[in-house]
């Protein structure tokens, strides 16, 4: 028996049930956390983000602008799932996870870069003007 035969051998009923239970629990917890995050962000969008990020706008327009940003994030999730799902199938899930975390981390670091640090001052900044 070689390693390919071992990998393709069927699981026992107990092992199959244990793996299925573990997958269901993990996906349920992950989905609950994700939707709780969207619930909190939606409430904060309605109550706080319009005033915080769009202070020069009319209050109604500021809330609508904040919800537009929320919508872009909500729309980007399935697009990213298709792209990185395909990438995960081709390269591996670990590589796809590392790529998504690296992309998110680099985007956050670019926002922390003070304006003027680059030769063209292309980096946005959190500093108030």
pLDDT in tens, the chain (129 residues): 555 555 567 888 888 899 999 999 999 998 999 889 889 989 999 999 888 888 899 999 999 999 998 899 888 888 988 998 898 899 888 988 898 889 888 887 777 666 555 554 555 455 544
C-alpha–C-alpha distance, residues 112 and 102, integer Å: 15
The structure tokens listed for 117 are 């640090």
pTM confidence score: 0.59
């Amino acid at each position: 028996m070689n390693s390919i035969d071992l990998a393709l051998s069927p699981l026992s009923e107990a092992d199959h049930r244990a793996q299925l239970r573990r997958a269901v629990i993990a996906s349920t917890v992950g989905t609950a956390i994700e939707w709780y995050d969207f619930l909190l962000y939606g409430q904060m969008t309605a109550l706080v983000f319009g005033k915080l990020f769009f202070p020069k706008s009319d209050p109604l327009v500021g809330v609508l602008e904040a919800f537009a940003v929320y919508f872009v994030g909500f729309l980007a999730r399935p697009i990213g799932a298709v792209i990185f799902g395909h990438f995960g199938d081709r390269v591996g899930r670990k590589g796809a996870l590392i790529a998504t975390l690296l992309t998110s981390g680099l985007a956050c670091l670019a926002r922390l870069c003070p304006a003027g640090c680059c030769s063209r001052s292309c980096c946005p900044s959190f500093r108030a003007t």
